[in-house]
Amino acid sequence: MENKKVAIISDTHIGSERSRFRYIALNDTIGLFKSMDTVVLNGDTFTLLGKPSTRSAILTEANREHLQKRMDTLFIELERILRECPNTHFHYLVGNHDGFPPAYDRLQELAKHYKNLEPHYEQLILGDALFTHGDLNIPPKYLSTRNAFSTDRKRNFSLPGGVPGEMEQAMYQDICQNMKQAGRLNNISSVFIGHTHMPVFGYEVEGVRFYNSGGFEGERVGCIFTGNLTDDGHLKDIVAKIIEPKMLGAPSL
């Protein structure tokens, strides 16, 4: 057995007019995916609904209809990726913009036809790495503020490194707490999240390294992480390929 090559990306927000990804297959992304054994799409790959800060946003008839239409359009793109990369296994984690029960049901339907698609509602563990979008780990006090991200957004992160803000640190603590309760804190070495659109590379909390692939809306810095998953389940050689804000051109979906 050889190491498995893994890529992780989040928050491409395809379908949002501010997204720099009109298609995820732009600019060699599809080539990178083809060269991988496993790709983790770590939430908010598509913007199916505009501004939900939580997945429990009440689905009115109007936005349920809207959701159906968006799914019809945007999941064609997902099918294209699955067809073009038949030897790559895709883990699709949902976020707060694509994590609603009807969308998750549709993903599960799609997974019956495409064996290289595996949807996840909350989290995924591969070896000693845990993947989750991050929206489920925001403490209520931050959700109740008008804009939970407003102060964080002023900071300018650089990769590698970057010191996470107060809300992000609270998210990490929540994730550590959950892992402790599940008895797996000692088995996890790295955690990958998204959601805040702030890239973070290997920030350590309680012996766990946290990674955030940033975001692809507006001028935000986003990256694709790659690493090697060894036979004995260790995700190593983690590197970040930064995707420059202007690289992908203006979206026009």
Q: Decide whether 29 or 196 has the Cβ nearer to Mn ion.
A: 196
DSSP assignment string, 175-196: HHHHHHHTT-GGG--EEEE-SS
Residue with tokens 């549709």: 106
CB of 35 to Mn ion, least distance (A): 27
Q: Footprint of Mn ion on this chain (CB under 5 A)? A: 44, 95-96, 195
Residue type, 190: S
**Of 128 and 135, which has the nearer Cβ to Mn ion?**
135
**Which one, 127 or 210, has the nearer CB to Mn ion?**
210
3-state secondary structure 104-161: HHHHHHHHHHCCCEEEECCCEEECCEEECCCHHHCCHHHHCCCCCCCCHHHCCCCCCC
Residue 187: phi and psi, rounded to 5, are -95, -10
Strand partners, 210: 191, 203
CB of 133 to Mn ion, least distance (A): 6
Number of Cβ within 10 Å of residue 72's Cβ equals 10
Q: How far is the CB of 42 from Mn ion (least distance, A)?
A: 10
Nearer to Mn ion, 96 or 226 (CB): 96
Closest separation in Å from C-beta 87 to Mn ion: 29
Length reported for the chain = 253
Specify the residue, 37 or 174, whose C-beta has the smaller distance to Mn ion. 174
SS3 content of the chain, % helix, strand, coil (to 5): 30, 25, 45
Q: Among residues 53 and 178, whose Cβ is nearest to Mn ion?
A: 53
Q: State the nearest-atom distance from the C-beta of 94 to Mn ion, in Å.
A: 10
Give the shortest CB-222-to-Mn ion separation in angstroms: 13
